[in-house]
Amino acid sequence: MLFFLTWPGVGSQLGRFHFKRTGVKVAVFGKRFEASFMPHCIDLFQFLDDNGCHVWIYAPFLDFLEQEMGFLPRVAGCYSDAAGLSGCELLLSIGGDGTILEAVTLVRDSGIPVAGINSGRLGFLADVSGEELIPAMTDILQKNYHIRELNLLQVETSGGDFGELNFALNELSIAKRDNSSMITVHAWLNGEFLSSYWSDGLIIATPTGSTAYSLSVGGPIMHPQAQSFVISPIAPHNLTVRPLVIPDHFEMELKVDARGGKFMASLDSRSRVMDQETIIKVRKAGFSVRMIVRQPNFYCTLRKKLMWGADARN
């Protein structure tokens, strides 16, 4: 299919018909964003079209652009699942870090490089801003970028609760549900008992996830190349219980005691209510996500995103 656009200041063009391209096959993934980002979105699709890219767009994102933004981008077709990404050489995620987490559920183990275009504010993964979009896309199409291999964790439960999407780029979180009582999370590492965490929950985070939920409960920041996971309790009853960094080749087993008999388990943004009889096993996933980074210096990212070294008085 071929789509053209209408937007204030942009003329209407052709309609929805297939056309042949000889350039790079690019997948575009996105969710909602503010209207202030719309000019950058128009620039992106115009740039891809000018450079002969064969663009495929996530169907719900196209619906959002058309129905809420009055914008019909010029694309070759739509996709709605992982199979629709077959043959794509690049995926552009428009949104924030949460949008990238959702895009990863489609990319999976395909090896398709992912570039994050930030339509919001803070983003560790979505590091291309609207203002630098065209220079960044020029570099990307010319393959002038670095690839950062991001490790994931994988979960197995006795009930198979997460199905095929049993992996997470950021973290697995265990949390209490529907009452004020703490839960107890019993943890084993490689078959050896570690501890019983009396707390509101427990987070097992990857290096990527160490700057997300885990950071908010006092967990350490880990370098992206660290081959580790961090175990961070949420509001532990014993204040001497602190986050623990473990090698990512360790296997972890969890068993939860909850007063109501149920607890919440979440892989990134995907949550399931589980019975306390459920046994959860956590290990490193057998694949990684290939993230495109234009600035490979992680310390620069920390200074920029977390304002390290900035003087609040100025």
Pair 156, 141 in one domain: no
> Is there a binding annotation on residue 97?
yes
Question: Does the global pTM surpass 0.95?
Answer: no
> Is there a binding annotation on residue 206?
no
Say whether 97 is catalytic.
Answer: yes
> Is there a binding annotation on residue 98?
yes
Mean pLDDT across 165-173: 98
Q: Is residue 313 part of a domain?
A: no
Pair 138, 179 in one domain: no
Q: Is residue 65 part of a domain?
A: yes
Mean pLDDT across 251-276: 95
Pair 193, 178 in one domain: yes
Q: Domain holding 68: CATH number?
A: 3.40.50.10330
What pLDDT is recorded for position 59? 97
Mean pLDDT across 244-262: 96
Pair 174, 278 in one domain: yes
Pair 100, 52 in one domain: yes
Q: Is residue 3 part of a domain?
A: no
Q: Is residue 38 part of a domain?
A: yes
Residue 95's domain comprises 25-145+294-306
- pLDDT one-digit tens code per residue, 274-299: 999 999 999 999 999 999 997 778 89
Q: Domain holding 194: CATH number?
A: 2.60.200.30
User: What span, in angstroms and rounded, lies between the C-alpha atoms of 133 and 152?
Assistant: 28
Q: Is residue 178 part of a domain?
A: yes
Residue 16 has pLDDT above 50, yes or no: no
> Is there a binding annotation on residue 302?
no
Pair 36, 132 in one domain: yes
> Is there a binding annotation on residue 63?
no
Pair 282, 156 in one domain: yes
231 with 189: CB under 8 angstroms?
no
Pair 165, 112 in one domain: no
Q: Is residue 75 part of a domain?
A: yes
Pair 162, 215 in one domain: yes
Q: Is residue 237 part of a domain?
A: yes
Query: What is the average pLDDT score of the chain?
Result: 90
**Number of domains forming the structure of the chain:** 2
Pair 194, 282 in one domain: yes
Q: What share of the chain in percent tops pLDDT 90?
A: 78
> Is there a binding annotation on residue 118?
no
> Is there a binding annotation on residue 268?
no
> Is there a binding annotation on residue 59?
no
Q: Is residue 131 part of a domain?
A: yes
Mean pLDDT across 118-146: 90
> Is there a binding annotation on residue 89?
no
Catalytic residue among 43, 49, 63, 97: 97
Pair 112, 196 in one domain: no
Pair 298, 281 in one domain: no
What pLDDT is recorded for position 295? 72
